[in-house]
Amino acid sequence: NIPSEQWAQVIEKQGSVTYKKIPVPKPGPDEVLVNVKYSGVCHTDLHALHGDWPLDTKPFPLVGGHEGAGVVVQLGELATELKIGQKVGIKWINGSCLACPYCQRADEPLCAKASLSGYTVDGTFQQYAVAKAAHVARIPDECDLESIAPVLCAGITVYKGLKESGAKPGDTIAIVGAGGGLGSLALQYAGAMGLHAIGIDGGDEKKKLVEKLGAQTFIDFTKTKDLVADVKAATPDGLGPSACLLLAVSEKPFQQATQYVRSRGVVVCIGLPANASISAPVFDTVVRMINIRGSYVGNRADTAEAIDFFRRGLIQVPSKTVGLSKLQDVYELMQAGKIAGRYVVDTSK
Ligand code: 8ID
Ligand code: ZN
Ligand code: ZN
């Protein structure tokens, strides 16, 4: 009983979405059709809406969304490893070639042929979406689809970023953009991994959330007179955090992090502000042995691990749910920087 039409939020022109009925897509042989119940709204969806990245989307109409949690309702003939009714997630990496040198080493986010949900293929802001069977996230039956949705991009990405940071239990890590979607999950993954977190963001609502999620210190970037000194002072020995996760959608913190991270520290770039660069003095980078690196979502094993942290009850996602029909309102709040945590949309409303 798969309908032929469904509700979706469609980008027909840059900058706005239209809530309308569109045909239900059909899965190819190596794909599944997923009845998306809930989808998180990631800041990446806003970048897609505005077209502010140096990467083309598919031609419009485009359905955004890549934190979709739902159940399998139809299997392509080769998708024998999944079952009808099974809980799955559609993540940013919708599919990859599985054959190139990166895919062979399970670095599938680096695959030049990777398809991206809600960007190069239609995503999860619709009731029925298609994804490659090999790539859909396997969600254990006991997990609640509404609360796990944000794990499917935000959770995987920050979990991977924390692994890339090399931080060890007992280390202090700075989380920049700590009150946003990725940030609020980063605080909890960091806590579950035995790290101390310094949360950096702006405003009292984000301060409250960041402290509730276990940060040892909150630093308000809109109020501090010397952010670099404040971050260093927040570490027990005053030498600065061992690592920093940059999740903010703004260039300035990318320049600051190399100054407050401790010597031999790791600066992990994850946020993707439009037209931004990162630069650091060569002298300091050399004599303080600073590492600057990027981290991009996660592979299928990172996905399974990030989901397992959630299954074990270690990750509570601070989210608000509204109907899919209200997506434009969510985008406006996000644009204004007013979202503490994550918004999730319910595709049935
Ligand atoms: O794989 C990846 N690398 C990946 C995966 C998913 C998302 C990258 N991203 C990118 C998104 O495209 C976006 O550019 O990460 C960025 C953050 O996504 P998000 O967490 O979904 O965005 P948000 O909920 O709007 O949170 C951003 C937070 O940054 C704060 C804001 O106040 C907000 O809470 N922030 C800003 I803007 N400037 C700041 C600053 N100077 C700042 N926090 C501290 N200092
Ligand atoms: Zn995302
Ligand atoms: Zn590949």
Which residues sit opposite 346 in a β-bridge?
38, 323
Residue 224's pLDDT band, with cuts at 50, 70 and 90, is very high
Q: What is the mean pLDDT of the chain?
A: 97
Do residue 87 and residue 102 come from a single domain? Answer: yes
Mean pLDDT of 156-163: 98
Q: How far is the CA of 40 from the centre of ligand 1 (A)?
A: 14
**Cα gap 297→263, rounded to integer Å:** 26
Cβ-based burial of 346 (10 A; exposed 0-12, middle 13-18, buried ≥19): middle
Do residue 238 and residue 258 come from a single domain? Answer: yes
Please say whether the beta carbons of 105 and 111 come within 8 A. no
Do residue 197 and residue 128 come from a single domain? Answer: no
Do residue 238 and residue 317 come from a single domain? Answer: no
Distances (CA, A) of 264 to 159, 255, 292: 21, 17, 10
Mean pLDDT of 60-88: 98
Cβ of residue 44 lying under 6 Å from some atom of ligand 1: yes
Q: What's the ipTM?
A: 0.99
Nearest-atom index, ligand 1, CA of 203: 32
Q: How far is the CA of 105 from the centre of ligand 3 (A)?
A: 9
Taking alpha carbons only, the member of 94, 309, 73 closest to residue 190 is: 309
SS3 for 47? helix
Q: How far is the CA of 115 from the centre of ligand 3 (A)?
A: 10
Do residue 253 and residue 332 come from a single domain? Answer: no
Q: Which percentage of the chain shows pLDDT scores above 90?
A: 99
Tell me, what CATH number does 130's domain have?
3.90.180.10
Do residue 160 and residue 218 come from a single domain? Answer: yes
**Cα gap 249→201, rounded to integer Å:** 11
Q: How far is the CA of 112 from the centre of ligand 3 (A)?
A: 6
Q: What is the pLDDT of residues 114-126, one digit of tens each?
A: 999 999 999 999 9
Q: What is the pLDDT of residues 7-39, one digit of tens each?
A: 999 999 999 999 999 999 999 999 999 999 999
Do residue 275 and residue 319 come from a single domain? Answer: no
Strands, sheet with 62-63, edge to edge from the N-terminal-most edge strand: 16-23, 5-13, 62-63
Cβ of residue 53 lying under 6 Å from some atom of ligand 1: no
Ligand nearest to the CA of 181: 1
Tokens 């984000």 identify what position? Answer: 206
Residue 238's pLDDT band, with cuts at 50, 70 and 90, is very high
∠ CA 74-79-84, rounded to 5°: 35
Residue 88, token pair as written in the block: 């799955």
| Ligand 1, atom 7: closest residue by C-alpha | 44
Cβ of residue 176 lying under 6 Å from some atom of ligand 1: yes
Cβ of residue 256 lying under 6 Å from some atom of ligand 1: no
Cβ of residue 47 lying under 6 Å from some atom of ligand 1: yes
Do residue 260 and residue 166 come from a single domain? Answer: yes
Do residue 63 and residue 73 come from a single domain? Answer: yes
Cβ of residue 179 lying under 6 Å from some atom of ligand 1: yes
Do residue 196 and residue 252 come from a single domain? Answer: yes
When divided into structural domains, the chain yields a total of 2
Q: Where are the alpha helices (DSSP H) in 275-319?
A: 282-287, 300-311
Tell me, what CATH number does 229's domain have?
3.40.50.720
* Residue numbers of the domain that contains 26: 5-153+298-346
Tokens 């399970």 identify what position? Answer: 106
Do residue 162 and residue 302 come from a single domain? Answer: no
With b for 16 or more beta-carbon neighbours within 10 A and e for fewer, the 135-152 pattern comes to bbbebeeebebbbbbbbb
Nearest-atom index, ligand 1, CA of 294: 3
